[in-house]
Amino acid sequence: MSRVITVGGAQMGPIARADSRKAVVDRMLALLDTAHARGCDLVVFPELALTTFFPRWWMESQNEVDSFFESEMPGPDTQPLFDRAREYGIGFYLGYAEKTVEDGETHRYNTSILVDKDSNIVGRYRKVHLPGHAEHEPERPWQHLEKGYFEVGNLGFPVWRTMGGVMGMCLCNDRRWPETFRVMGMQGVEMVMLGYNTPAANAVGPEPFHVRMMHNHITMQAGAYQNGTWVVGVAKAGPEEGCDLMGGSVIVAPSGEIVAQAHTLGDELIVAECDLDECTFNKTTIFNFEAHRRPEHYKIITEQVGAVPPPEE
């Protein structure tokens, strides 16, 4: 049986702080329509796809922060997405801010879900590597308050057998950490989906745009190659009220090659036919983990957080 999944990366242009959920969901429905016309089985939307990248703003009122969170999924605003996707028989990945009550306590996570072709939520991931800072830093040109507005995800990096393959998820900054991909690689992942919101410039020091875009791609390409998996990385792009977000959404083959790439900073669908059987070559040769990994030499990775150089002479 064919294991080809036609995947759409639904890059989204800027979302204004005042944009309603309905206005955003309407844009996502238009991307789903395009995906259907182009024969997609699965569509990947960005991180925090339903709102502007709100950690950019220092907000003292928790009520104001909470206005960017969803406390039900699907909720009244997002139900049309689930309905349209089910009508088309398309699965999707969606990043959003999740507010949830567990054991009587409220938690807030930067979350993605995986929805199958029948519109069932089959997977949930909560971002582990939260970048930025927790307190207001007024000297910055824009804030990056993920550490203040979210808790570290508590679900690890699971994978799910669905849509004919082994599927995994992560979010934005996670892609920069090889551990993210390896933990999923150790579970046989065949497609990693990730949404991102990455500023085109570094807020705290000079870094050329082309170098930042290289970091964006090189991390996903390395994750794909070193684990023999497809990677679908999808941006929120363009000028979002004072902060330019890079685009550069890509679909990366298990060889590490980019097979589709966005060329705009707006709403744009990139499409690739992804044969999950292409994962087998890497997984059974150069990256045959069973044959070649030496975990007895990797303990420092899980036992230590920061780098500890040897003492000075």
Q: Which residues lie near ligand CDT (CB under 6 A)? A: 47, 131-132, 144, 172-173, 176, 196-198
137 is catalytic: no
SS3 167: strand
Cβ of residue 144: shortest distance to ligand CDT, in angstroms?
4
Rounded-to-integer distance, Cα 261 and Cα 233, Å? 10
Cβ of residue 198: shortest distance to ligand CDT, in angstroms?
3
In this complex, which beta carbon is closest to ligand CDT, that of residue 92 or of residue 196? 196
Q: Do residues 94 and 111 make contact, with C-beta atoms less than 8 angstroms apart?
A: no
E strand or H helix at 28: helix 21-37
Cβ of residue 181: shortest distance to ligand CDT, in angstroms?
15
Instruction: Name the DSSP class of 201.
Output: S
Which one from 127, 240, 243, 278 is the annotated catalytic residue? 127
In this complex, which beta carbon is closest to ligand CDT, that of residue 88 or of residue 196? 196
Q: Do residues 190 and 167 make contact, with C-beta atoms less than 8 angstroms apart?
A: yes
Which tokens belong to 201? 């410039």
Cβ of residue 173: shortest distance to ligand CDT, in angstroms?
3
The amino acid present at 262, given as its one-letter code, is A
Which one from 40, 170, 172, 243 is the annotated catalytic residue? 172
How is the beta sheet containing 191-196 ordered, strand by strand? 159-162, 165-171, 191-196, 230-235, 250-252, 258-261
CA distances from 154 to 110, 127, 128, 144, 151 (A): 11, 8, 8, 21, 8
40 is catalytic: no
Rounded-to-integer distance, Cα 72 and Cα 31, Å? 23
Cβ of residue 193: shortest distance to ligand CDT, in angstroms?
15
In this complex, which beta carbon is closest to ligand CDT, that of residue 200 or of residue 269? 200
In this complex, which beta carbon is closest to ligand CDT, that of residue 172 or of residue 271? 172
Q: Is 20 exposed, middle or buried (0-12, 13-18, 19+ CB in 10 A)?
A: exposed
Rounded-to-integer distance, Cα 106 and Cα 150, Å? 11
Cβ of residue 197: shortest distance to ligand CDT, in angstroms?
4
Q: How many CA atoms lie within 13 A of 313 on its CB side?
A: 0
Rounded-to-integer distance, Cα 79 and Cα 75, Å? 6
22 is catalytic: no
Catalytic residues: 47, 127, 172
